[in-house]
Amino acid sequence: MVGVDELPLLQDIERAAGKSFNGIGMSAIADDEPLPLDVLSGYQRAGRAWVTVDDDDRPIAYLIADVVDGNLHLEQVSVHPASARRGMGRMLIDHAAAHAKAEGLPALTLITFTRVPWNAPYYERCGFWSLDDAELTPGLRALRRRDAAHGLDRWPRVCMRRDL
């Protein structure tokens, strides 16, 4: 669980992780500001914000989630680049899955970029599969509209699901 004093560190992780989008022509994503502290605090208070820490007990990765249409929806998974490719993201996803299962939620969902190697292809390796438009729930459709309004649909995106 995330402590209130750790919330600014989550923003730092998000900024650092976002820089990798510069290298694939998605500078607008790289330059996008992380969620404000009051929004992150809402996830923390709801018990749906988790971190992985380093040997010095400093956060190096985080995951925040919402409940959308009866499933745990992964809103953000970010790993600091200095700690990437060490299983931190997968550990957080598995923790979220265990939490969802304990809460009686049947699946994890998320929305991600299809052609970014550390997005849709990564989540497929974590047991997610792509949903077609007919499989989208009302809540996922609303989130897609929100993302489109934020300009995220300039690049191909997909909703994904992992049953628990």
Instruction: Specify the number of domains making up the chain.
Output: 1
Instruction: Give pLDDT tens digits for 42-97.
Output: 999 999 999 999 999 999 999 999 999 999 999 999 999 999 889 999 999 999 99
Task: Give the pLDDT of residue 4.
Answer: 75
Residue 55: domain span = 4-163
Which CATH number covers residue 125? 3.40.630.30
pLDDT digits (tens, 9 = 90+) for 29-46: 999 999 999 999 999 999
Rounded distance between C-alpha atoms, residue 38 and residue 90, angstroms: 26
pTM, two decimals, is: 0.94
